[in-house]
Structure 1
Amino acid sequence: MTNAMPGTSPADTGLAAAAGKVAELAAESAAAADSANRLSPPVAEALVSAGFARHLVGPKWGGTAAAPGAMRDLARALAVVGAGCMSAAWCGGVLAAVGRMCSHLPEEGQRELWGDGPDVPLAGSLAPSGTVREVPGGWRLSGTWDFASGVDYAQWTMVGGLVRGAEGPPVLRHFVLPSSDYRVLGTWLNVGLRGTGSNSVVLDDVFVPAHRSFEHRSVLMGDPDPAAPRLHRVPLKLINGLFFVAPGIGAVEGALGAWTEWTANRVEITGARTSSRPGVRLTLARAAAGLDAARLIVDRAAAEADDAEVTPALTLRATRDYSTAVDLLLDSVNGLLRMSGARGQAQSSPVQRVWRDVHCMAGHAALQPDVNADGWAKHALGEE
């Protein structure tokens, strides 16, 4: 495995150009989304119109999953939106991620979702919850599923549940339901990423036909069909962290720009310019370098997901690198907030909002440093 970055250019899907327009719209309402605990309808609609929902849907349904360089294109587009509003970028990543997962549905289920076109807003609650009862032709589900980002605007939502396996312990399956089959509870009252509207869904003995369900194992391993788009065939862990860390790259970039402009004009109580302090200059340099390093790491992982030979070592390194990028972003935004003083902690400050958002991003299961480092280290040490 080489450390060289593959040379594939981002795909020409129009996503990057459209992302700039979404970022402008999202930035205008970022503070309002933070207060309302959900995106505004225009921003939610703009994410779908820009192409995030269709980005990892198969070409059979009009999606762009097979476009060369699609993962790198997505990473950059998420960062662009994240610079305006990290919550909006997070929802854009969820749209793409759930679209990719639902591409593992049987063909009848895919047709039900995308038969009229690929621009379908989807949400998902990955962790198993509720109760699942197998019945002729499918399953019946009841219970509450949490953390479904963007669910208020979704036409369909995917939930996870444990079912009896053919042999051994229960297995995780995913079930896809139209919005008419569930209720949304306004449970998302979080310290950060408030605008994602990651509310809960409630199901009351809802029937899900077999064609709207698939095993999680198929997503983990990737589609075995050689004719499937590459990004449907790669293991989930090769790309999963990217959906969540790329918005953080953009968010820290936006915070760094705002902080730098503000700091350049700040004056100390002594009358001296704040920018003349060595500690302030050091903070700026470190934050910018950490951001650049995080971007390079994630850009390489995205490029290799598009082109490199897929091996266990590649997947383990990608998960390690996603967590490392998060640590770099945390260091950058922590320094910015510390050197902002009390004024930088005001609700009107974009730095404190990004600080909260990035810390919440770091808690995502796909980005946990101990688990991701341990897997790579065991491989490097020859222990597995």
Structure 2
Amino acid sequence: MTNTTDTTDTTNLVTAASKAGEQAAEAALAGEDSNRLDPAVAESLVTAGFARHFVPERWGGSAAAPGAIGHLGEALAAVGAGCMSAAWCAGVLAALGRMCAHLPPEGQYDLWGDGPDVPLAGSLVPSGTVRAVDGGWRLTGQWSFASGVDHARWTTVGGVAPGTDGPPVLRHFLLPRSDYRVLDTWRNVGLRATGSNTVVVDDVFVPAHRTFDHRTLLAGDPDPAAARPHRIPLKLLNGLYFLCPGIGAVEGALQTWTQWTARRTEANRTRTSDRPGVRLALAGAAGHLDAAKALVGRVVEEAESATVTTELPLRATRDYTVAADLLLGAVNSLLRMSGSRGQSLDNPVQRVWRDVHCMAGHGALQPDVNADGWARYALGEA
């Protein structure tokens, strides 16, 4: 697969992502019907540079490039404007590149020894059974919601394993494609083309160098020489992978809706845009979108360069959740003022409405958990 992203200039990713987004938009309806990305779209995301984006520089990745975090957000939004499912899978590629940077060096070599453009999938929620054996672990079980797994060459799964000096801990295990089967289980109201299918593992051996402790992922790499995206806590970044596809999708839907509404007429042959409620919906949706972008933009700036304090990741998760609510407000306004014609399955506005609602339901964006963490800190309770 051709490498197109310069490891020292991740602005190339944004340009390539726009082209991938156009390709994804053309295949969006077919992706919904098949419940997975078109293979050519999946390949375009890797070729654009998403898989290598957070891969360590020593393997040819772009993690150390200036502005890598912000450029990823822009690139995900660019793809999301065409197809949010494709952008979601692009975010997974980048997220798992960062995750696997926490593998021991031998495990990183197994994965990236031949180059950084390796398509990955993953299922983080612990499942299955994990048994310690000489030299590593044996895994058995099923892991759901592995977005993009049909196109992956390696997949990570999470499992609870015995701790070395205390209670069991969550570990992540890296498996080559030959070590698992994929069940076609993904049937969802939104994000249909993500192909978030189920991974099945039958008593597979995973060597110790292909696994790592979840706590290292949460805290970040303590090595001051590591790239910035690897050093910061996970919660500073995690919402980015989900929200930026949504931001792009809402931007695309807003543009489509505005152009369509400018041409619409009512049953009495008056212009739809003459209705005050329609103009109010447009202004409100645009304002909600801009507010979400501003919140996420601040988190990105802090993730890029701010001193990491106890509060910073807590505030980031709070802001990610508020941004999700703002995007929900935007798409709700647009769909409500679209009428029956806007609810047709070939109308991209209703697809974005479904996709954004599914995004907001992700575990990383749950409002009670994320708001509570920051609030407890603000009240001096944590």
Bucket of the pairwise TM-score, normalised by the shorter protein: over 0.9
CA distance in 2, matches of 1:29, 1:378: 45
Amino acid at match of 1:107: P
SS in 1 for 2:55: coil
Aligned pair partner of 1:280 in 262, 278, 292: 278
**1:251 equivalent in structure 2:** 249
Residues 179-258 of structure 1 aligned to structure 2 (within 5 Å): 179-258=177-256
**Residues 283-335 of structure 1: CA deviation (Å, up to 9, x unaligned):** 00000011011111111111211111111111111101100100000000001
Amino acid at match of 1:120: V
**2:323 equivalent in structure 1:** 325
CA distance in 2, matches of 1:253, 1:363: 20
Amino acid at match of 1:46: S
CA distance in 2, matches of 1:12, 1:76: 11
Amino acid at match of 1:27: A
Please say if residues 53 and 99 of structure 1, whose CA atoms lie closer than 8 Å, have aligned partners that are also in contact.
yes
Aligned pair partner of 1:356 in 354, 357, 364: 354
Residues 109-148 of structure 1 aligned to structure 2 (within 5 Å): 109-148=107-146
Question: Compared with structure 1, are the counterparts of its residues 378 and 306 closer, same or farther at alpha carbon in structure 2 (3 Å cutoff)?
Answer: same
Please say if residues 11 and 73 of structure 1, whose CA atoms lie closer than 8 Å, have aligned partners that are also in contact.
no
Please say if residues 13 and 67 of structure 1, whose CA atoms lie closer than 8 Å, have aligned partners that are also in contact.
no
Q: Once the 2 structures are TM-superposed, how far is the Cα of residue 380 of structure 1 from its aligned partner?
A: 1.3
**1:57 equivalent in structure 2:** 55
Please say if residues 103 and 212 of structure 2, whose CA atoms lie closer than 8 Å, have aligned partners that are also in contact.
yes
How many residues align? The count is 375
Q: Once the 2 structures are TM-superposed, how far is the Cα of residue 168 of structure 1 from its aligned partner?
A: 3.5
Q: Once the 2 structures are TM-superposed, how far is the Cα of residue 152 of structure 1 from its aligned partner?
A: 0.2
Q: Larger relative CO (CA 8 A, sep 6+): 1 or 2?
A: 1
CA distance in 1, matches of 2:125, 2:214: 10
CA distance in 1, matches of 2:176, 2:165: 31
Q: Once the 2 structures are TM-superposed, how far is the Cα of residue 227 of structure 1 from its aligned partner?
A: 1.2
SS in 2 for 1:205: strand
CA distance in 2, matches of 1:22, 1:56: 19
Q: Once the 2 structures are TM-superposed, how far is the Cα of residue 67 of structure 1 from its aligned partner?
A: 0.8
CA distance in 2, matches of 1:277, 1:144: 52
Amino acid at match of 2:297: D
Q: Point out 4+ residue stretches in structure 1 off by more than 6 angstroms.
A: none
> Normalising to structure 1: TM-score of the pair?
0.96
Amino acid at match of 1:268: E
Aligned pair partner of 1:24 in 22, 25, 29: 22
CA distance in 1, matches of 2:278, 2:200: 49
**2:3 equivalent in structure 1:** none
> Normalising to structure 2: TM-score of the pair?
0.97
CA distance in 2, matches of 1:227, 1:264: 54
Residues 261-280 of structure 1 aligned to structure 2 (within 5 Å): 261-280=259-278
Q: What stretches of structure 2 of length at least 5 have no aligned partner? A: 1-7
Please say if residues 85 and 194 of structure 2, whose CA atoms lie closer than 8 Å, have aligned partners that are also in contact.
yes
CA distance in 1, matches of 2:357, 2:233: 26
Q: What stretches of structure 1 of length at least 5 have no aligned partner? A: 1-9
**2:92 equivalent in structure 1:** 94
Please say if residues 10 and 62 of structure 2, whose CA atoms lie closer than 8 Å, have aligned partners that are also in contact.
no
Identity over the aligned pairs, expressed in percent?
Answer: 70
Is residue 39 of structure 2 the alignment partner of residue 41 of structure 1?
yes
